[in-house]
Amino acid sequence: MDPIAEPWWKRSVIYQIYPRSFMDSNGDGIGDLQGILSKLDYLVHLGVEVIWLSPIYDSPNDDNGYDIRNYQAIMQEFGTMNDFETLIAEGKKRGIKIVMDLVINHTSDEHPWFVESRSAKTSNYRDYYIWREGNKEQPPNNWGSIFSGSAWEKDEKTNSYYLHLFSKKQPDLNWEHVPLRNDLYDMMKFWLDKGISGFRMDVINFISKDLNFRDGIVHPNQLYGDGSPYYMNGPKVHTYLREMNEKVLRHYDALTVGEMPGAGPEDAKIYTNPKNQEVDMIFTFEHMNLDSGPFEKWDVKPLNLVELKRNFEKWQQALHQTGWNSLYWNNHDQPRIVSRFGDSELYRVESAKMLAICLHMLQGTPYIYQGEEFGMTNVKFDSIENYRDIETINMYKEKRQQGIHHDEIMACIYAKGRDNARTPMQWTKAGGFTEGIPWIQMNPNYLEVNAEQALADSSSIFYTYQKLIRLRKEHDILTYGSFHLLLPDHPYLFVYKRRTEEAEWLVVTNFSKRTEQIEWNLLEAPYQEGKLIISNYERPKTDEGVIKVRPYEAFVFAFERRK
Ligand code: NOJ
């Protein structure tokens, strides 16, 4: 591949910051931009070259910034525009690019557009949002909101309903309306002209709705209809993305990653094929949905590793040389991976490293979520009062009203609640996030699990991540090699190969606390000739052509390919 033609993000690893929980510089208990600035050198040490910031725009924080009141102002609690410009400049000095979150499927109901829009049916901004008349005093259709309740809210002023796929303080924008689209494109240019390097686009495949607004199917145990077939990957989504690219993105060297629930590999091929000029990569949810039932994330079930492997295989193969994958285990919406697919009690360090190695050897751009690099875990607060996430709180209330027992709901929250990811960064043995009272309680395990400890221990999870980031820069095979799944039906081991014409890498990972034996000849690789690239135990254990894979063990061997 001609390096000149290679986009920079193909070898980058992106670090996500959830600013509210990252680092508080002024003791108000809320993370801020100065806090981020003070930790840039930590990120340099990890090897990070790109930061994705969850929203930092002015917001009433119904959904922690995913409800934007002013797209061109910084949230007061986070600092000033000057702080943000300093962050871009200081990042640049250190070779760190800044990617912003772009939330343009909806705004806050406090955004001036919505305030105007709801004021009268004749308002110039009426068509910026999706208004419909009710149906005999009932909402226009039966769709449920992703944050519980109906997706429609009646507005008394004009006696009509507006659509909100998320909370009622997050009205959906009407992308059919050209002036709205142009305003959004101007806003995007404003930030790109400031020197940011791209956008992570919030639920961007929801922007085009099927305008028939038909009722959705009511699945078992659900109170509302499922509107998702009518708003996910909707009729004009590709048209809008191409227009956005033409009007804005192609004029900048910017990375774009579309968050796309409900997009499969066939959709991803269209969205991410460079020829289509839509987005560079998307976030799939398929692998994150494997430990839930089909209709809601709170219906928790154990992961079946065979399904996970098959899923990765499908995505790796579909996008190889056609589009591009993003690779992630964690973000601000997902529980902590070491508590989820690893073992945060007995094998926290081993399993966190194993999960990292497993993901970072794949083809695509990996994302690391704050705290993942030293194995932060899920949290269990006893009382719902200690939770802050609107999705969790609304779900709790709705299920309590249905008569479901507190303990049963809490078990779901412990497994899947978003606040698992949002407890403050554990910087030191003393916590280190704030000198005040944090907006959400810390995970009490900060005494053992913290960045300070990880930095001081050369065998910590942190240094595994550091090495993985470096390997991606040094080895073409990680960027370009094809993917081949081995032992597809093995219930505990995830084994695969990456291959180019010159080299072959073998990745062996154990997703269980059992010791598993495998014969080398099944792996079709000459063990004696292999060069160990990375592992989470000392040298792998072999004996006469058999290899023992210990609990949560992971290792990677490189081989030269025989001509
Ligand atoms: C996806 C974001 O990641 C999530 O945090 C947010 O609540 C919804 N979109 C709505 O913006």
Q: What is the pLDDT of residues 302-321, one digit of tens each?
A: 999 999 999 999 999 999 99
As a whole number of angstroms, the distance between CA 278 and CA 235 comes to: 15
Q: What DSSP letter does each residue of 338-384 carry, written as one string?
A: HHHTS-TTTSHHHHHHHHHHHHHTSSSEEEEETTGGGT------SSG
d(CA 198, CA 7): 13
Q: What is the pLDDT of residues 42-51, one digit of tens each?
A: 999 999 999 9
* CATH numbers and ranges of domains, the chain: 1-103+325-379+423-480 (3.20.20.80), 112-163 (3.90.400.10), 184-203+236-324 (no CATH), 481-560 (2.60.40.1180)
CB 554 within 8 A of CB 535: yes
Establish whether residue 103 lines the binding site of ligand 1, counting it when its CB lies within 6 angstroms of any ligand atom: yes
Per 3-state DSSP, the chain is made up of helix, strand and coil in percentages (nearest 5) of 35, 20, 45
Closest CA relative to residue 97, chosen from 53, 148, 154 = 53
Q: Which of 492, 295, 369, 403 is nearest to 13 (CA)?
A: 369
Of 428 and 546, the structure prediction assigns the larger pLDDT to 428
Ligand 1 pocket, residue 389 CB under 6 Å: no
* pTM exceeds 0.85 for this model: yes
Give distance in angstroms: CA of 148 to centre of ligand 1: 14
Average pLDDT over residues 322-339: 98
For the question of residue 202 being annotated catalytic, the response is yes
Say whether pLDDT at 360 is over 70.
yes
Mean pLDDT of 3-22: 91
Cα separation, 490 vs 497, whole angstroms: 15
- Euclidean distance between CA atoms 411 and 130, whole angstroms: 36
- In the structure, what pLDDT confidence band is assigned to residue 21 with cuts at 50, 70 and 90? very high
CA of residue 244 to ligand 1 center, whole Å: 21
Cα of 108 vs centre of ligand 1, distance in Å, is: 12
Q: How many A from CA of 410 to the centre of ligand 1?
A: 21
Of 103, 111, 228, 422, best ligand 1 pocket probe by most atoms within 8 Å of the beta carbon: 103
More confident residue, 545 or 368: 368
Question: Tokens for 333?
Answer: 């919406």
Is any ligand 1 atom within 6 A of the Cβ of residue 201? no
Q: Which of ligand 1's atoms lies nearest the C-alpha of 418?
A: 5
Q: Which ligand 1 atom minimizes the distance to the CA of 331? A: 3
Tell me: pLDDT of 526 over 90.
no
Per-residue pLDDT tens over the stretch 108-160: 999 999 999 999 999 999 999 999 999 899 999 999 999 999 999 999 999 99
The answer to whether the beta carbons of residues 77 and 30 sit under 8 Å apart is: yes
Q: Which of 83, 109, 153, 259 is catalytic?
A: 259
b (16+ CB within 10 A) / e for 127-162: ebbbbeeeeeeebbbbbbbbbbbbbbbebeebebbb
Distance 517 CA to ligand 1 centre (A): 42
The mean pLDDT of 287-316, rounded to a whole number, is 97
Q: Say what the pLDDT of residue 545 is.
A: 86
- Predicted pLDDT at 350: 98
How does pLDDT run across 35-88, given as a tens digit for each residue? 999 999 999 999 999 999 999 999 999 999 999 999 999 999 999 999 999 999
Residue 207: pLDDT band with limits 50, 70, 90: very high
3 confidence band (pLDDT: 50, 70, 90)? very low
Q: Write out the two tokens for 429.
A: 């043995």
- The per-residue b/e assignment along 513-526, b for 16 or more CB within 10 angstroms, e otherwise, is eeebebebeebebe
pLDDT over 90 (residue 542): no
Mean pLDDT over 276-282 rounds to 98
* 66 close to ligand 1 (CB < 6 Angstrom): yes
Range in 7-16, 367-376, 432-441, 542-551 with the lowest mean pLDDT: 542-551
Q: What was the pLDDT predicted at 527?
A: 74
How far, in Å, is the centroid of ligand 1 from the Cα of 316? Answer: 25
CA distances from 280 to 69, 103, 275, 326 (A): 28, 17, 10, 9
Amino acid symbol at 182: N
- Ligand 1 atom nearest the C-alpha of 63 is 7
276-284 mean pLDDT: 98
The pLDDT of residue 404: 97
* Residue minimizing CA distance to atom 6 of ligand 1: 66
- Alpha-carbon distances of 416 from 97, 143, 149, 198, rounded to whole Å: 31, 23, 19, 29
CB 510 within 8 A of CB 493: yes
> What does pLDDT average to over the chain?
97
| pLDDT score recorded for residue 563 | 63
The preferred substitution site among 54, 59, 66, 297 for testing ligand 1, maximizing ligand atoms within 8 Å of CB, is 66
Task: Name the active-site residue from 153, 202, 280, 286.
Answer: 202
First CA to last CA across the chain, in angstroms? 21
pLDDT, mean of residues 12-20: 98
**Mutation test residue for ligand 1: of 169, 203, 326, the one with most atoms within 8 Å of CB:** 203
Cα(16) to centroid(ligand 1), Å:
14
Nearest CA to ligand 1 atom 11: 66
Report how far ligand 1's centroid is from the alpha carbon of 513 (Å). Answer: 34
Exposed / middle / buried, residue 193 (Cβ in 10 Å: 0-12, 13-18, 19+): exposed
Q: Mean of the pLDDT values across residues 379-396?
A: 98
Whether residue 2 has pLDDT greater than 70: no
Tokens of 445: 């395990």
CB of residue 421 inside a 6 A radius of ligand 1: no
- Classify residue 25 by its DSSP letter: S
Are residues 509 and 554 in contact, defined by beta-carbon separation less than 8 angstroms? Answer: yes
**If you ran DSSP here, which 8-state letter would residue 394 be given?**
H
Tell me the average pLDDT across 356-377: 99
Position 271 confidence tier, pLDDT thresholds 50, 70, 90: very high
Helices marked H in 49-172: 81-93, 112-119
Q: What number does the ligand 1 atom closest to the CA of 333 have?
A: 5
**Nearest atom, ligand 1, residue 106 CA:** 11
Distance 144 CA to ligand 1 centre (A): 16
Distances (CA, A) of 249 to 241, 278, 381: 10, 9, 43
Q: Are 107 and 114 in contact (CB under 8 A)?
A: yes
pLDDT in tens, 229-260: 999 999 999 999 999 999 999 999 999 999 99
> Which pLDDT value is given to residue 1?
45
The mean pLDDT of 523-551, rounded to a whole number, is 88
The closest residue, in CA terms, to atom 10 on ligand 1 is 66
pLDDT of residue 523: 87
Quick check: CB of 62 below 6 Å from ligand 1?
no
* Atom 2 (ligand 1) nearest CA: 202
Residues of the chain with pLDDT > 90: what percent?
94
Which DSSP state fits 526? -
Question: pLDDT category, 412, cuts 50, 70, 90?
Answer: very high
Decide if 100 contacts 199 (C-beta within 8 A). yes
Residue type, 345: E
- Provide mean pLDDT across the span 499-504: 96
Residue closest by Cα to atom 8 of ligand 1: 66
24 tagged catalytic = no
